[in-house]
Amino acid sequence: MGNTCRGSFGSRHHHPTHPKPSSNRRSCSSTSSSSDDDDTPKPAPPAASVTTVAVVMRRGIDPAGAGAGVSCHVLGHPTPNIRDLYALGRKLGQGQFGTTYLCTELATGAEYACKSITKRKLISKEDLEDVRREIQILHHLSGHKNIVTIKGAYEDSLCVHIVMELCGGGELFDRIIERGHYSERKAAELIRIIVGVVEACHSLGVMHRDLKPENFLLVNKEDDSSLKLIDFGLSVFFKPGQIFTDVVGSPYYVAPEVLCKQYGPEADVWTAGVILYILLSGVPPFWAETQQGIFDAVLKGVIDFDTDPWPLISDSAKDLIRKMLCSPPSARLTAHQVLSHPWIREQGVASDRALNPAVLSRLKQFSAMNKLKKMALRVIAESLSEEEIAGLREMFTAMDTDNSGAITFDELKAGLRRYGSTLKDTEIRDLMEAADVDNSGTIDYGEFIAATIHLNKLEREEHLVAAFSYFDKDGSGYITVDELQQACKEHNMTDVILEDIIKEADQDNDGRIDYGEFVAMMRRGTMGLGRRTMRNTLNISMRDGGF
C-alpha cells in the first residue's frame, strides 16, 4: 500500500549487493579499497549519477540470468484462499505488476485494501525476496500507531495478495493545503510523528529508504494523529554498523551518502530533514531542472535559508534542519536526538503564528506536479511489455563480446549498429560518457541499462507520446483543463486543483499543455522508471481511490 512510482528509483534487488558490517564509511570521492578483513581488497563503489540510478536494473533482471515468471509458492507455504475470507470489491487501480482492490472481510464486514501482485511478473529470485521481505517488515513493525497495519498475506496460483489497513483520509500535503492555517507548530507536530516512526523502525532494525510526504496517508481527515507510513517496498533489515551500497530512494529526498553508495540508517534522518524543509517552505532544499542537477545539489549540500519564507522562520527550526541535513552521517542527529530537539518537542518553542501563504501555494504546486506525473507514469508503466524489459539482459550479453562484464566503446558502437541504431559516433561517445559513471572507460551492466533507456528516449519516444495521447483525448495536440478533469476522474483523483496542474507545466501561459511542455515537465527532476517503480504503479491507486 503506497506509492513509489512518484519518485523512487532503483531497488536493492536490481543488481543485488550483499552489504557487510563495517564502521568505515568513505567519502563520496573515495576510490580506495575496503579495509574489511577478507584478503581481496574491494574498490569503493562509484558515486551514482542520473544515468545509473534512474532505471537501475529495471525489474530486477540480473545479467547472470534470472529465470522466467514464477509459478511456485512465493510465500514459501500454502495459505487460505483469500476469497474464502474476503470479498474483493471494485478495482481501485491497475499497475504494471498487479491490481489494487477494495476488499471486505466476510466475517466482520470491515473494509481493507488488497494489493494483488501478479506472480508471472516476478521474474527473478530478487523479485520474490522483495515481496517476502516487504511482508516480513510489515509484520515486524505491526502495532505501531503510525505505521500501516497488515491484515494478512495470501497466495493463489496467480497472485500474492497483501491485505492492509484502509487509509481514507488522503495525503499529508493535501491535508495541509485543505486546512489553510499552517504554522511552525503544526509542522513540528507532523515531523514529530514522522521522525517517531523513523525511530521506531531503526530501533527494530528496519531502514525505510524511501520516506517522502506521498508515503504518509491519513486514516481519516479529522485526525492528524492518524498519519500512517505506507509502502515498505524498498525497506531492509539492518544490523548496527552495516553498510549498504545499492542506490535507492527518490531524488529530492535522497541522502548524499546513498548517492555515494556507502550508507546506513542515518539516510532516513536526512530524508526526514528534507521533508521538514518542504513542510516549512513548500519547496525541496535541493532543487534543479534535471535529476542529475538534483543529485549535484544534494552532494554539495548548500541549504537556502535566505529567500522567502526563511527570514521569518525561527532560528530553532533552521538549527534542527541543519543538524538533520548534515552531510557527514556521523555528525547527523539520530532520530532519537531529533525528537529531543527544543523545536520539535511537545510544548516546544515552535511558533503557532501562521506561515506565509506563499508556502501553501508552493506546496500546492509541488503536489500538483506530482499528481500529473503520477498519472503519466502509470500510463507509461502499463505500456512496457515484459519482453521489452527482459530483452535488455540479452542485449548486454550480446554486446559484451569478450564476456568481461563491461562494455567498451567499440563493443557499444558495434552492438548498437547490430540493433539498428543510426546514432553517430559522437552521439554514441556522448552516450557512453554519460553512462560511464566511474570514468573507467567501460559500461557495466547497471550503467548499460540506464544508457539503453536513454537511447529509447533519444530515438523512440512512444512511451511519452502514449502518455500524452492518453490525456489529449481529442487529439488536438494540447491537454486542456477538461481533459485533465476526465483523466482525474478515470484515476479516481478527487480534490485536485486542475489549474495548479496546468500552471506547473504551462510554460507559455496559454492555459493548456502542449507536447513539448509535457515532456519538459516529465523530465524535470525525473524520478526514473525502475523495476520497483513499475511494480508500485499499482499502489498509486490506493491513494487515488480514496486511500
DSSP-assigned letters across all residues of 434-474: HH-TT-SSSEEHHHHHHHHHHHHHHH--HHHHHHHHHH-TT
Choose among 529, 543, 531, 535: nearest CA to 99. Answer: 535
In 84-146 the beta strands, taken as DSSP E runs, fall at: 86-95, 98-105, 111-118
Cβ burial 254-277 (10 Å sphere, 16+ → b, else e): bbbbbbbbbbbbbbbbbbbbbbbb
- Binding site as annotated, residues: 115
Hey, what amino acid is at 363? L
Alpha carbons 159 and 119: distance in angstroms, whole number = 5
Question: Between the CA of residue 440 and those of 45, 378, 437, 447, what are the distances in Å?
Answer: 12, 35, 8, 11
Secondary structure of residue 225 in the 3-state scheme: helix
Secondary structure of residue 4 in the 3-state scheme: coil
Hey, what amino acid is at 295? F
425 included as an active-site residue:
no
Q: In the numeric block, which cell numbers belong to residue 37?
A: 578483513
Instruction: State residue 292 phi and psi, 5-degree precision.
Output: -60, -35
- Binding site as annotated, residues for ATP: 115
Q: Is 103 exposed, middle or buried (0-12, 13-18, 19+ CB in 10 A)?
A: buried
101 forms bridges with which residues in the sheet? 91, 114
CB 500 within 8 A of CB 484: no
Q: Which of 62, 127, 174, 210 is catalytic?
A: 210
Hey, what amino acid is at 201? C
Radius of gyration of the chain (CA): 23
In 137-229 the beta strands, taken as DSSP E runs, fall at: 150-155, 159-164, 170-171, 206-207, 216-218, 227-229
Alpha carbons 363 and 32: distance in angstroms, whole number = 42
Cβ burial 419-443 (10 Å sphere, 16+ → b, else e): eebebeeeebeebbebbbbbeeebb
DSSP H or E stretch at residue 188: helix 184-203
CB 291 within 8 A of CB 528: yes
Q: In the numeric block, which cell numbers belong to residue 182?
A: 499552517
Alpha carbons 319 and 40: distance in angstroms, whole number = 43
DSSP H or E stretch at residue 395: helix 386-399
Which residues form the catalytic set? 210
